[in-house]
Amino acid sequence: MGRLGGGTTLALDRHGDYAWESSMGDELSILTDHDSAWGPVPGVFTFGGGGGASDFPQPWYQRGRVTGSTGQRRTPDVALEGDGALPVLIGLTDAGTFHLAGFGGTSAAAPAFAAIQADAQQASGHRLGFANPLLYALDRGRLFHDITDQPANAGAGPLTVVRDEGPDTDTSTGEQRYLLYTLGHDFGLHARPGYDDATGLGSPTRGYLGWFQRTGGTLK
């Protein structure tokens, strides 16, 4: 299994289909002055992914495919949606009671990619085993979204989203609470064209599982 320390922020279009992804890095602002302005601007860094050079030597499957390498193992290998500002809704049972809770980070992205790999294995008809060499050998242009901090199809200007937190139960007024997140600003990591330390190879495209079904998971 690939090392999935990188995360993304996933945007959907009005039909619920894939629109774009940016690196997982959020700056937070809140409404101030009686809901008349956002502050602070720029926001305070609150959530991001992980990646970079490790203490281990570079494996053979990364050579020639990871730019800017210094002879060390680079992480992550792949990335998937895991933004804490837009958490994934997960169902869990605790002490016999079922709960719905929002999860972000590796707690959301890693299980999701494991599920995709399980589907890929089923589509190929055999066990995939250690998947890293295969991931780096695949056609990145067709099978992975090349994620950047500022996706071209997201338009110009800052990427922002307003999250409605619902009524404030800590006050007597019960006013609605709103948070403003500026996206694509991971702390010290940047998603650029090609492999990068924020999102690795990128996230699987719609054609990812189809490739395993067509080829049996074997490169020609």
Residue 147 class from Cβ within 10 Å (0-12 exposed, 13-18 middle, 19+ buried)? buried
Q: Nearest-5° angle of CA 159, CA 138, CA 83?
A: 25
pTM above 0.85, yes or no: yes
Task: Name residues whose C-beta falls within 8 Å of residue 180's C-beta, 6 or more positions apart in sequence.
Answer: 28, 29, 30, 31, 38, 43, 160, 161, 162, 163
Grouped pLDDT means (10 residues each) for the chain, 220 residues: 70 93 93 82 90 91 82 92 87 92 88 94 94 92 93 87 78 73 90 92 95 92
CA gap 153, 156 in Å, rounded: 9
Residue 21's nearest CA partner among 186, 163, 179, 139 is 186
pLDDT score of 127: 93
Which structure tokens are listed for 105?
Answer: 């980070």
Torsion sign, CA atoms 210, 214, 216, 220: negative
CA gap 208, 50 in Å, rounded: 24
pLDDT score of 2: 47
pLDDT score of 1: 45
pLDDT score of 140: 82
Residue with tokens 């609150």: 46
Residue 194's nearest CA partner among 56, 83, 67 is 67
Residue 96 class from Cβ within 10 Å (0-12 exposed, 13-18 middle, 19+ buried)? exposed
Domains of the chain, each with CATH number or no CATH: 6-215 (3.40.50.200)
107: left (phi over 0), alpha (psi -120 to 50) or beta: alpha
